Amino acid sequence: PCGQASGPDRCETNVELGHPCSASVPSRAVMTWLSARRVWILVVWTFLVWTSRVRNIMADDGLSSTGRAIRVAIAVSFVTLAVGTTVGLVRRRLDRRWLTALVGWTILVWTVRGVGILLDDWNVGFKVVHTVLAIISIGLAVWCGQLLRKKTDVSTPVLSG
């Protein structure tokens, strides 16, 4: 349909979300719009959680400059990974490295943070809220991480439809 050559050279440069030929490219893992929706959910969730975190950090007068800087750096790292992943989604050519980093960082930080919060001297409400945030974040990351298990060349954009 796109006018590219047929056979093994068919349309491989046009592996994009929504491209009519993309499903016929056997050497690529195909991420459908349903799969892309998973990634959008993780990106939006991450953006909301960590931009809210920045507001909370800035409002906390009990933090030292160093404590504030470390917390803001972690939040900014999440927002950066969410933005990088979003750029790929918008361009319909997601680079696996952005999604891999977002998934891995989410699981790592929320596991460490969640255990730390549960073991530290916080009130029950704080522990419950942050446990729920951790479970949702890790769950979304694992859900999106399943998309990365498909056997493809890591340097190849994976979104197609």
Q: Render pLDDT for 133-147 as a digit per residue (tens, 0 to 9).
A: 999 999 999 999 998
**Are the CB atoms for 27 and 156 separated by under 8 Å?**
no
In this prediction, residue 147 carries a pLDDT of 86
Please tell me the total number of residues recorded for the chain in this structure: 161
Q: How many C-beta neighbours within 10 Å does residue 115 have?
A: 11
Q: Tell me what the pLDDT averaged over the chain comes to.
A: 80
Predicted confidence at residue 159, as pLDDT, reads 47
Number of Cβ within a 10 Å radius of residue 102: 25
3-state DSSP call for residue 135? helix
Q: Which residues of the chain have pLDDT under 50?
A: 1-30, 152-161
Residue 54 burial by CB count (10 A; 0-12/13-18/19+): exposed, middle or buried? middle
Do 23 and 30 touch, CB atoms closer than 8 A?
Answer: yes
At residue 33, the pLDDT reads: 67
The confidence score (pLDDT) of residue 135 equals 98
Q: What is the pLDDT of residues 2-24, one digit of tens each?
A: 444 444 444 433 334 444 444 33
pTM (global) more than 0.85: no
What was the pLDDT predicted at 31? 57
